[in-house]
Chains A and B, each alone.
Chain A
Amino acid sequence: MSTEDRIEKQILLRAPRARVWQALADAEQFGKWFGVKLAGPFAPGARLRGKVTHPGYEHVNFEITIERMEPERLLSWRWHPNAIDPKIDYSAEPTTLVVFELADAPEGTLLTLVESGFEGIPPSRREAFGANERGWAIQMKAIEKYVSETA
């Protein structure tokens, strides 16, 4: 599989695994840092729908389908990456898989994120992405600011 198919990230979080798990797997807590309002709860097979909460972007839908949950170790879900146009029905398109893995680290929790399956995303969606990316970048910055101010 080509490296163009996946994104991988690692981050050291200075918090216990139980705390990180809550932030990932509790719908309300997840929504706070991710910037969405979700109707929970997280459970394997559950489809969670919601809206982006950032002012000016409340029209953007958010939907994930939970795959696996191994408490304090692994959480995975599928979604349509950057499915940000409410006028488009993305449901028939292939999804990407997002996997969070938690491991003990000397000072807290090592979190590994892998999103894979980009090879399956249709060409038209990638083109649309180009047009929308600037808006997203601005939104992400704004959310980051918002969260750090209310922290």
Chain B
Amino acid sequence: MSARLLKPRRTAPIFAALGDETRLRIVARLSAAGPMSIAHLTRDASVTRQAVTKHLHVLAHAGLARSTRLGRESVWELQPEPLDAARHYLDDISAQWDAALDRLKIFVER
């Protein structure tokens, strides 16, 4: 709730960024294992380092991930707030449908 109110983010890029299998996998890994380097992310991915780098920048552009410098390496981590905002949008529309379908149920069953 507060994430959405404090940061009315551009959420279309979020949906676009998540609409890719490789990027979803990267998000899942970062979510499960916490911050890690590109080398680490590439090690057990079936894609090249360049591809992983490119995908990470798409995620960063959507505000989903960010990198910090640690020595010679960049360490990448997730930024959960935009994910929350995107989820809230659908949750709220979803709740409206629940209410509408409840009214339909009352309407056809009476």
Across the interface, which residues of B come within 8 angstroms of A131, CB to CB?
8
| Known contacts A19-B108, A130-B5: A144-B15 contact under CB 8 Å | no
Across the interface, which residues of B come within 8 angstroms of A19, CB to CB?
108
- What mask results when residues 110 to 123 of chain A are scored 1 for a CB within 8 Å of chain B, else 0? 01010100111111
Tell me whether B44 is interfacial, beta carbon within 8 Å: no
| A13 and B109 contacting across the interface, CB-CB below 8 Å | yes
Tell me whether B16 is interfacial, beta carbon within 8 Å: yes
| A144 and B97 contacting across the interface, CB-CB below 8 Å | no
Give chain B's interface secondary structure class: helix
User: Whole-angstrom distance between the alpha carbons of A78 and B11 in the complex?
Assistant: 21
Across the interface, which residues of B come within 8 angstroms of A111, CB to CB?
101, 104
| B96 and A140 contacting across the interface, CB-CB below 8 Å | yes
Interface stretch among A2-10, A55-63, A67-75? A2-10
| A123 and B12 contacting across the interface, CB-CB below 8 Å | yes
- Count of B interface residues, CB-CB < 8 Å: 39
Interface residues of B in 14-63 (CB under 8 A from A): 14-16, 18-19, 24
Residues on A lying within 8 angstroms of B by beta carbon are: 1-2, 4-5, 7, 9, 11, 13-15, 19-20, 23-24, 29, 32-35, 81-82, 111, 113, 115, 118-123, 126-127, 129-131, 133, 136-137, 140-141, 143-144, 147-148, 151
Residues on B lying within 8 angstroms of A by beta carbon are: 4-5, 8-16, 18-19, 24, 85-90, 92-110
- Excluding A4-B86, A122-B12, A130-B89, 18 further A-B contacts by CB distance (< 8 Å) are A2-B18, A4-B19, A4-B90, A7-B94, A9-B94, A19-B108, A24-B104, A33-B104, A81-B93, A111-B104, A118-B15, A123-B9, A123-B10, A123-B13, A127-B9, A130-B8, A130-B85, A147-B103
